[in-house]
Amino acid sequence: MSVVESEQSNNNVALYPVHHGVGPQFPAGGMSLEFVLDFVRRRFWLILFSVLFMCGLGATYFLAVPAPYTAVATLSIDTRKFQLFQQSPSLGDQSVDSAAQVESQLEVLQSEKIALKVINELHLADDPEFGYAAAIPIVSKLVERRRLDSENWRTRNALRIFDKRFTVKRRGMAYVIDINFESLNPDRAAQIANAIAHAYITDQFDAKYEITREGSKWLEGRIRDLRDQVSAAEKAVNDYKAKNNIVEAGKGRLITEQQLSDLNTQLSIARAKTTEMRARFDRMNAMLNDPNDATVINATISDGNNQLITKLRTQYLELAARETEWSEKYGRNHLAAANARNTMRGIRTSILAELQRLREAYKNEYAIANEAQDFIDKQLQQTISQSQTSNEAQVILRDLETSAQTYRILYDNFVKRYSEAVEQQSFPYTEARLITTATPPIRRTYRKSLLIVAMTPFMGLVLGFGLGALRDFLDRGFRTSRQVESLLELPCIALIPFQKRPRNIRALSIPSPSARPEPAEAGIASSVIEQPFSRFAEAIRTVKLAADLNGAAATTRVVGLTSAMPNEGKSTIAAALAQSIAQVGARVILVDCDLRNPTLSRAMAPKASSGIMEVISGRVSLDDALCKGPLPNMAFLPAPSRMRVAHSSENLASGNMKKLFEKLRYTYDYVIVDLPPLAPLVDVRATTHLVDSYILVVEWGRTYTTIVQHALSRAPHVYDKTVGAVLNKVNMKALSLYDGTRARYYNNKAYGRYGYTE
């Protein structure tokens, strides 16, 4: 891991708290441009191979499949109507005068009827190009041969191949249609294209002739029926007039109709006059029912034609003005003002008397108008009663005349259309004509082949992206620190590179107090001491710093290293972390608590006869069980086992184990605990009262994300104390393919200025 990544990981530890809640939540990642670019770089060779493979298939197709010849015949659709005989459209004369109708003609050209005409006319069902040689692959040739004897099958098979090679296209918005046909034989292509055009024109002739012929037959029968109906309708009109003595008097109107019209006019005038008299009478009543001073003004305004009322109103208004002036000047009780008011009262009485007289006059006029209206209304009712019988007869007569006239018009129209149909039947025509005859083409058409070849690179890209996505989908392991932080909600403390067993490194022996074992190779863990400037050593120091920041308030830090699955390298990292701490002078003890599979004990103290189990049982003292390492301030408490411990979780959760760890806390600055994996055992869950913080080791690219998520969700208390996770055995070169934006963190030549080495 690079220095920059180490600094970033340290910041992550400060940003993420140790307590994460009841249990981990695992949000899903999103799609971004960076992800797409990383995907392309990661699967570049697979995508390139897919593109080249599809391009090879396209080139093979282009070379193996010969391009056909395309012959073109051109039809013109004349929208002008033919006017040799008829002046109006007749049966079968359906002129093509819109774009939609031209599109309909395109569908007719591509119909099965036209294709079958050409196939039968040119005997294409017997042509090898349209027969079994083109239709049946070699593999299925023997299976399908028994069907070749069927004429219907050969015709349908030829039709299927015919449709694939036959296309029609309209030229822009013009009434011109191109008929294209593809064939391996240029003469055959031209012959079939011309045959299609002639078959279409012939079909149009036949369709119009058939329509005209059938229409003529129908018109002939219909004319006979109409002739009989016209005769019957006209006879019924004459008989009805004679029976009811109906004589028309000018423009077909009866005398009673004229009387009714005149009386209706008089009645309308009488009703208008009655309404006017009633309105004047009601208005006068309203004024007299409220005899106040305003009545004087209203009366003169509404009856302005009455000179007496107008004169009295003028006098009244003049006296009112004088009375107001005198009252203001001399006082209201002055004799002149009082005389003016008395005179005004007299004038008001005179106006009211005149209004009452007018009311009586209006009342009489209203009564006379009402009587006149009633008289006219009675005359109208008598006239209506007298003319009812005549009107009923006239209605029936008009119905009979209308029916006879309608039959006569229909009869004349049908006779005219019949004449036109007979003329057109003897001279059929069509709007379509062949303006360009197809000729044998001299060059092959590579359009379809080139299109297929041009599409192969894009198909290769799609195939490559699909295969790459499938490989990424099947790759369920952790690949980047961002993925760890997103899926586990834990900071990624460090990326520990894949470390091979170093060469020319002295072996670190860890002697046993009971017997001197043979020196054992410390292996990868010794790289921390022998190669202090390596990427591996820098990553281990990052893990130590994360543990220090998490337990800054504690005197002794008990750090447990675990993983979700076995063989993820947790024991190696635990040994390397202990040696890195001891190298800086701190007192550290490495404890192997993987009681069922003490890999660390077999590697560092293979001949130890006593260990942690003997200490908590009281059979051996702690000092006798400890193994001293090459560094004076480092100790190792192994877990040698001659047989598997069934109840290992009970031993880890026991009170004696707690007392042992309390003693280790008092004696050492750091206690590094190698724990078993989370998924197969429950032992780690039993150590939450012993360990201050956990570090989760995840093997890069191999451990499934779902397994780690499930293991953490089943151990919420362990998850709460987890400082973070480390990605172990990372392929640093391949890492940039999964996290290209951070590639400069992992590989930078400038790091060499600080003594940084691989």
Q: Which tokens hold the place of 516?
A: 């001197």
Angstrom CA distances, 427 to 85, 212, 640, stand at 9, 11, 115
Predicted pLDDT at 267: 75
Question: For the residues of 113-180, what is the DSSP string, one character each?
Answer: HHHHHHHHHHTGGGSGGGSHHHHS-STTHHHHGGGTT-HHHHHHHHHHHHHHHEEEEE-TTSSEEEEE
Q: Provide Rg for the chain, Cα atoms.
A: 58
Predicted pLDDT at 299: 56
Q: Which tokens hold the place of 184?
A: 């391996």
Helix, strand, coil shares of the chain, percent, nearest 5, are 60, 10, 30
- Residue 484 · residue 725 · CB < 8 Å: yes
Q: How far apart are the first and last CA of the chain?
A: 9
Q: Which tokens hold the place of 747?
A: 């590989």
The answer to whether the predicted template modeling score (pTM) of the entire model surpasses 0.85 is: no
Predicted pLDDT at 421: 64
Residues 156 and 164: their CA atoms lie apart, in Å, by 13
Name the fold adopted by 64-217+430-448: Bacterial polysaccharide co-polymerase-like (3.30.1890)
The pLDDT averaged over each successive group of 10 residues in the chain (758 residues) is 38 39 41 72 81 84 78 79 47 54 81 87 84 49 52 85 86 84 85 87 79 73 75 74 58 61 78 80 74 58 64 79 80 79 79 78 81 79 68 68 76 73 61 81 77 83 82 77 86 83 48 37 62 76 82 70 90 88 88 89 85 88 83 88 77 90 91 92 90 91 87 91 89 73 60 56
Q: Does domain 3-26+489-754 have CATH number 3.50.50.60?
A: no
Using DSSP's 3-state secondary structure scheme, residue 259 falls into helix
CB within 8 Å of 233: residues ≥ 6 apart: 400, 403, 404, 407
Residues 359 and 285: their CA atoms lie apart, in Å, by 7
Number of H helices, E strands in the chain: 27, 12
Predicted pLDDT at 659: 92
**Residue 584 phi, psi (nearest 5):** -90, 5
Predicted pLDDT at 415: 76
Residue 12 CB neighbour total at 10 angstroms: 18
| Tokens 């008097």 found at | 249
Question: Smallest Cα–Cα separation from 487: which of 478, 496, 495, 500?
Answer: 478
Question: Smallest Cα–Cα separation from 32: which of 480, 704, 494?
Answer: 480
Predicted pLDDT at 10: 38
Residue 30 CB neighbour total at 10 angstroms: 7
Question: Smallest Cα–Cα separation from 683: which of 563, 503, 520?
Answer: 563
Predicted pLDDT at 439: 86
Compute, in degrees rounded to 10, the torsion defined by CA atoms 89, 94, 97, 101.
160
Q: Which CATH number fits domain 255-420: 3.40.50, 1.10.287, 1.10.10, 1.10.150?
A: 1.10.287
Using DSSP's 3-state secondary structure scheme, residue 41 falls into helix
| Tokens 């001073």 found at | 293
Question: Smallest Cα–Cα separation from 552: which of 13, 9, 8?
Answer: 13
User: In one letter, which amino acid is 236?
Assistant: A
- pLDDT tens digits for 566-621? 988 888 888 888 888 888 888 999 999 988 888 888 888 888 888 888 888 888 99
Residues 365 and 482: their CA atoms lie apart, in Å, by 108
- Residue 180 · residue 193 · CB < 8 Å: yes
Predicted pLDDT at 508: 44
- Residue 739 · residue 727 · CB < 8 Å: no
* Domain ranges, ordered by start, for the chain: 3-26+489-754, 64-217+430-448, 255-420
